[in-house]
Structure 1
Amino acid sequence: MAIQPIDLQTLFTQMDKVARQKSAEKEGLVLQQSLQGAVNLKKTEEKVRSVNETKEPEGGAERIKDNNARNRSQEEFPEKKEEKKGPNEEKQIDVIQDPDLGKHIDVNG
């Protein structure tokens, strides 16, 4: 199918419209990318200026350290362990305070 002269006249008159539309599309892409970059920049600035939440430790190293410290404090201060009993419970300590206890051995029997 051959191109007729009238078709050429129509195409040439529409060329400037097509060129403007294509340039607008290219500029639109550049504008969209710059807007996206500005949004990303704002988000990063907000992250830098904001207070970050602390994360829970994933490993058990901190918990082990805490447990060891707690065990050591209970060994050093055993009276604290007794004080943790309820206020209604009385302290019952069975201590025999005989100074001769365990020094004399009865061999007879």
Structure 2
Amino acid sequence: MTGSPVAGRVAKLTDVWKSYGAVPVLKGVSLVLQAGEVHALLGGNGAGKSSLMKIMSGVIASNAGAIEINGRALTHVSPALAQKLGLYLVPQEAHILPNQSVLE
């Protein structure tokens, strides 16, 4: 399913839900990211920040909601598709690059 791009819009998530079993992590989250903007997702442990980013980058699937990347409405996001559309997730876990400094 494709849509026409909205000028400057990089990504749009609408009413995204995610739960792990009976434990809800995201409850109807909506977010619009425009080109040239800087955003910060803030919240305590378990607030759903990583889950939201993993859904947007195709690492995990949402239970409900709509995802649009670069004007393209997606019914299924995979990491390969997200990267093809220009979206990359930089994990927060430092152990994936154990031999590099912060500068590198």
Question: TM-score, normalized by length of structure 2?
Answer: 0.18
Q: Which has the higher helix share?
A: 1
Q: Whose radius of gyration is greater, 1 or 2?
A: 1
Q: Which has the higher strand share?
A: 2
Question: TM-score, normalized by length of structure 1?
Answer: 0.17
